[in-house]
Structure 1
Amino acid sequence: MTNPTINPEDFNAILREVLTENAPTTTTPHTHTLAFPLHKVLAAAEHATAAPKHALGPRDTDPGPRLWWINGDGIYLMSNGIYNTPNTHDETGHWRHIAHADNCGPGTDPSTVLGGDGLHETLDLTHAPADGQPLINTLRTAATGGATRFLLHITYNDNNRLLTTATA
């Protein structure tokens, strides 16, 4: 018996249909809060704001000072600032200007938060939201006021993700 030949377009259409039908959906919002050491987040943010150049994130269209929230080798916030320095890693081999979330340092499995690694979100540091001040100002004020943690609250389902921040 021979198998019929299926062209790639038909195969892809069938695959999409099967995966969509069998994919679990989550319409109920879930929440998760990540806590970061404020002094390290502020150091990364100050690095980004002082940098003469800035790398673009996946959906960024204009360069500017930002923190990147990344699930990869742990879960961390990282400066997108670019300096012309040859050593981008510290003496232990880790990236400089990052702040790992509590209990989510290098070597930890990020799949416990939002289902895996490879996540890359951007937090703008200098543009003020309609209901507040720029994130860099919030971080500076919190640090001088005695706060020690930066909190990233994530509310998500299959359709969207909402990030809010706070300090404590």
Structure 2
Amino acid sequence: MGLIELWFRLSEVAPIVEHAMSASEHTKYPDPNDDSPAVPSLIWVKDDGTYLLSNGRPRLLADPTQPEGKAQVAYAQNWGPGTGPEIGYTPVGGDDFTEYIDLTQDVYSGDRLSDLIRKYAELDGWMIFTVGPGQFDISFEPSNPNSYR
């Protein structure tokens, strides 16, 4: 199986990143061998489609008037609700998962992931996850050649 690119519009991801970066508490992937503190992260989820959300607490709500409602998320282009079965046939795989992506990590010559997201969001840019079996890489583009506005 080859690779698939998941394109996330940064105008949708940026508010999620800002929430994670400014939150006073954060959730952490449950690992009994990891006692390090939780850090601001994007949570990449694959279930009914694939999307990103904040690990900040209290959580960022899609509708602030509904405290028990859904979290605000940013779906990958063309992989929204109802696409869970189809994405299962790609390198993303059929099993549901959550992957924590540290926003404070240095990714390119000293730039933190959060800084690159902010930079490309100002350009109405995109974050691309290039996914292969068991691995993924993140890159950025100022525009999406696959987008039809």
- TM-score bracket for this pair, using the shorter chain length: 0.7 to 0.9
Partner of 1:167: 141
Partner of 2:116: 138
Aligned residues: 134
Q: Which runs of 5+ in 2 are unaligned?
A: 143-149
- Please state if 1:47 is matched with 2:47: no
Could you tell me how far 1:31 is from its partner in structure 2? 1.2
Partner of 1:128: 106
The structure that is strand-richer by fraction is 2
RMSD over aligned Cα atoms: 2.6
The structure that is helix-richer by fraction is 1
- Please state if 1:151 is matched with 2:128: yes
The one-letter code of the counterpart of 2:82 is: G
Partner of 1:78: 53
Q: Report if aligned partners of 1:36, 1:102 keep a CA contact under 8 Å in 2.
A: yes
Q: Counterparts of 1:162 and 1:139 in 2: how far apart (Å)?
A: 17
Q: Which runs of 5+ in 1 are unaligned?
A: 1-28
State the TM-score, normalizing by the size of structure 2: 0.75
Deviations 1:7-35 (A, max 9, x none): xxxxxxxxxxxxxxxxxxxxxx7211101
Greater RCO (CA < 8 Å, at least 6 residues apart): 2
Q: What is the percent sequence identity of the aligned residues?
A: 30
Could you tell me how far 1:149 is from its partner in structure 2? 1.9
- Please state if 1:111 is matched with 2:111: no
State the TM-score, normalizing by the size of structure 1: 0.68
Could you tell me how far 1:130 is from its partner in structure 2? 6.6
